[in-house]
Chain A
């Protein structure tokens, strides 16, 4: 192994241009994959193929078509009649007409486009019934507008959707067309430009865009935007840090070259791989920068140190020493980082899996590129005067930083009980905080407060029935089963009971429509708002409606052969906890009202936002547990193998374990919920954080094996490796802190938490290791001379 490595290093030193050309050719090939990268922001991708929520969604879409709707809330809070004034209603009519003209929206039937202008009102008259749009033409005077509001109230079915509960607004809901679905970002931007245009034209109404296609459109736009915005920033920060550390432009150039090539390889790989780029993978654009540069920093550091140690050595010799010394640890840390990320690739969620694979590819690419580019560039460039000229050993340096690092190591190894006690407190706190952890995998939670989609969601939840939908499909099992009065009565009862829940703003189903028709056909008698007793009458009402209303009026409530009915329950509280509670309640009611003795039999299928959100929670927790359960033992094994003793393997994973405990405990204490990107934190922290322990232990054990006593070994390690680790940590922190400037909330959270975990990993390495290693490592006295090795890493 060592000889092969030696041969490789010699070959690169002899023919550096060949190495550069190989790197260039490979980069060009990977770059050709970049145009193939495409984005997928579909929420359901986060669920495994075989997940019940995905099955149910596919089923409901099979029966009822695409069930996600754009919601356009038109609010007029300052008007005494709210939205129900002639001007606002004229505007609603105008928006509806505009939507009908746009190919991005499906408006063929009324259930595709629900607005005051399209939805039919079933009204009782003295002689019979009347089916007409609530608003065929916008009213001319305030009285007419108020009567329209009253008509919605009297009808009852659309209270909370077509009319805000407080009269302040009206909601327009429109399905996306195939063309719109293919370009959700374009559809969203078009819609947004249109309503912005209305505002600029002086309309006093407020417009809010919500609904799943809008969220996905915004995600689609946010992904490239995040990368474009944050990447230059993180590059600038890292370049500055590298420049400050090595004080040469070439070090910056080398790092930037490695970073650029790593990004190209990683995302080019994604293009060739053919998988889509999911939202969370966009984080990699930024995260890869500090990770890619880590190997280069170690090599650069060693390169300059070697020049300090051997001022007279030839260029090739310096390069050889650097590469021979740093090859093994760089390989080991790259492997462990990749393993950490790969643990995420065991996830049941495709975007997390792909993130893990991509990150591992990125780490590997950075490793290969570092080993190709750096020796070749070192071999081509003339030696540069080292930064610490005139100093023969780092230990001779009496600078403040060396005294500080040495002091910390000494104190930690002398006041062992305090350190152990402090970390025990950290663990206890972490466990306690962790017990308070909550999970929120809702999509809205991925946007920071104040984001337009959060505002829109809040507005829809405050004024209307709710922005999240729980879909309940009642499968009667056979053609015409839905016409069974007992089944419809059970549905109506379920709807009534669901409506009583505090988080439910309203609901809609065929049962309600049948009850409405029964009332209308009985002279609008409120007591007749119930399901009629005869199946024939139900069938005749439905036939009558199909002839009187439009054919698509309730396509989203019942399927064509009356086997399936759909109930939409609108939930006006955001978050997984509410979604889960709503789903649980619905399940309880379904058990109570269906399939018992004397009850109608039907299969009840749950879907929609609530179901998706609840299922994601399950996967988020399982994935996190699985990632840790696989990764921690694996890394322990690797470190056991490398360091030769099981307790050392355990100790190596201690910093990352403590760091994760601190992060999760902190989230528990501060009420930050766990969400999907946080699952990535586990693997990422393990992979990155373990490097600290490896570098530390590598150096410390080397010292001990050379016969150095514990405290001295700890001090040497602190001022050499410890200092390099400090720099490594600073680079990582700088890279992750850039995520705080992200638009998407989870990236911000991920940035903050990774920052905490990196910091804790570092602190554990420099404090806990000196305090405890003396107990774990006993080197026989005869092993060495007691002399410290040279102060290079």
Chain B
């Protein structure tokens, strides 16, 4: 579900947290009167903060139980409704330490720009690639999973409300609204469990075009990002690919919203530093 195409493969670390983000204002009071579309939108709207900083551990595990663990530090900045800049640096494992990515994501017709710095090569390279069905950094998240809600090209409806993880939830189903979208998306249907208490999504299910339940997302460890910032966020996300048996766990070791970002961070020059 998306409003615009995030077409480049970027190290959009911060975008992942947006999945779990939600509107922290007093939405629940109105939720009962909202349509399914409005409920989905309300849950999605919350993701925005002007800037974010995070240190995250990404654990990729395949069906044979083998894992790849990476630690990544990242910053992002939303310049406008259609433009976002991201900067990410690998901290671990040691053989890829200081591999750095910079991306400019455009939520319009423009192609995204991505630059990569490989310290062993000591060169900055530009990367071109695009497909919204593509997986993000070898994880189980596709770019599509991380995009904003698309209220034009998807139809939303309520299923029976359910209690999930102790929270009464709205259950919102979404299906592509037109053939073009049906052709572009990987999914035939998505379902979100949105907690009535804080409008944060607790669970997501993704059905593929063969009608199989393909992926399941769980969002856990929801709490304020810090003592000084009461806005709650999920700090642990588990995306399981039920077809491949692969799963991705993202753990936010640090998550800061609306932080001051060093000037010039989102430039090619900073990649080498």
Contacts and interface: CB of A to CB of B under 8 A. Distances in A.
A550 interface: yes
B95 A130 contact: no
Interface in B72-124: 90, 93, 95-96, 99, 101, 115-116, 118-121, 123-124
B50 to A, nearest CB: 26
Contact of B129 (A127, A130, A543): A130
B180 interface: no
Interface stretch (B133-141, B156-164, B191-199): B133-141
Contacts of A127: 125-126
B127 A129 contact: yes
Given A131-B128, A560-B64, A561-B66, 13 more contacts: A63-B64, A128-B127, A129-B125, A129-B128, A136-B131, A521-B118, A521-B125, A532-B120, A540-B96, A544-B127, A546-B137, A548-B127, A561-B68
Contact of A539 (B95, B127, B140): B95
B127 A130 contact: yes
B128 A132 contact: yes
Interface stretch (A100-108, A363-371, A459-467, A492-500): A100-108
B250 to A, nearest CB: 15
B90 A543 contact: yes
A412 to B, nearest CB: 70
Measured as residues with beta carbon below 8 angstroms from the partner, the interface class of chain A is: 35 or more
- Among A133, A543, A559, A561, the most chain B Cβ lie within 10 Å of the Cβ of A543
Nearest to B61: A560
A521 B139 contact: no
B139 A551 contact: yes
A149 to B, nearest CB: 21
A427 B241 CA distance: 66
A580 interface: no
Nearest to B209: A101
A537 B118 contact: yes
B213 to A, nearest CB: 13
B237 to A, nearest CB: 17
Nearest to B70: A543
Chain A CB within 10 A, most for which of B96, B131, B138, B243: B138
A517 B130 CA distance: 18
Contact of B246 (A536, A547, A551): A551
Contacts of B138: 546-547, 551
Nearest to A102: B210
Contact of B11 (A539, A547, A549): A547
A530 to B, nearest CB: 14
A103 B66 contact: no
A552 interface: yes
A527 interface: no
Interface residues of B, number: 43
A535 interface: yes
Contacts of B60: 551, 560
A583 to B, nearest CB: 27
B148 to A, nearest CB: 22
A108 B244 contact: yes
Contacts of A544: 99, 116, 118, 127
A746 B244 CA distance: 39
A104 B130 CA distance: 28
A142 B212 CA distance: 38
Contacts of B244: 108-109, 552
A87 interface: no
A181 to B, nearest CB: 15
Contact of A535 (B90, B95, B118, B139): B95
A199 interface: no
A78 interface: no
A480 B121 CA distance: 19
A125 interface: yes
Contacts of B119: 536, 540
B124 to A, nearest CB: 8
B62 A540 contact: no
Contacts of B68: 560-561
A534 interface: yes
Interface in B220-251: 241, 243-244, 246
Contacts of B135: 550-551
Interface string B5-27: 00001010000000000000000
Interface in B135-178: 135, 137-140
A265 B135 CA distance: 57
Interface in A106-134: 106, 108-109, 125, 127-133
Contact of A540 (B9, B66, B120, B139): B120
A469 to B, nearest CB: 21
A289 to B, nearest CB: 46
Interface of A: 62-63, 65, 100-103, 106, 108-109, 125, 127-133, 136, 480, 483, 521, 532, 534-537, 539-541, 543-544, 546-552, 555, 559-561
B126 A125 contact: yes
9 contacts: A128-B115, A128-B126, A129-B125, A131-B9, A131-B128, A132-B130, A480-B95, A551-B139, A555-B62
A607 to B, nearest CB: 17
B67 interface: yes
Contacts of A483: 95
B104 to A, nearest CB: 14
Contacts of B139: 551
Contacts of B121: 521, 537, 540
A560 B66 contact: yes
Contacts of A129: 125, 127-128
A666 B144 CA distance: 67
A696 B32 CA distance: 98
A243 B131 CA distance: 74
Contacts of B116: 128, 544
A130 B128 contact: yes
Shortest 9 CB-CB distances between A and B: which pairs? Answer: A128-B125, A560-B66, A539-B95, A537-B120, A127-B126, A128-B126, A546-B138, A536-B120, A130-B128
B129 A548 contact: yes
Nearest to B10: A547
B128 A559 contact: no
Contacts of B64: 62-63, 559-560
Nearest to B129: A131
Contact of B66 (A534, A541, A559): A559
B134 A539 contact: no
A245 B163 CA distance: 82
A125 B128 contact: yes
Contacts of A548: 9, 127, 129
A543 B99 contact: yes
The residue in A101, A541, A547 that gathers the most chain B C-beta atoms within 10 A of its C-beta is: A547
A544 B9 CA distance: 11
Contacts of B246: 551
A133 B101 CA distance: 22
Contact of B96 (A130, A543, A561): A543
A543 B9 CA distance: 13
Contacts of B127: 128-131, 544, 548
A547 B124 CA distance: 16
A450 to B, nearest CB: 37
Contacts of B243: 106, 108
Contacts of A547: 9, 11, 101, 137-138
Of the candidates B99, B120, B210, the one having the most CB atoms from chain A within 10 angstroms of its own CB is B120
A560 to B, nearest CB: 4
Nearest to B123: A521
B202 to A, nearest CB: 26
A540 B96 CA distance: 5
A777 B29 CA distance: 112
B169 to A, nearest CB: 28
A62 B63 CA distance: 10
Given A521-B121, A540-B120, A561-B68, A550 B210 contact: no
Nearest to A133: B131
A521 B125 CA distance: 8
Contacts of A521: 118, 121, 123, 125
Nearest to A483: B95
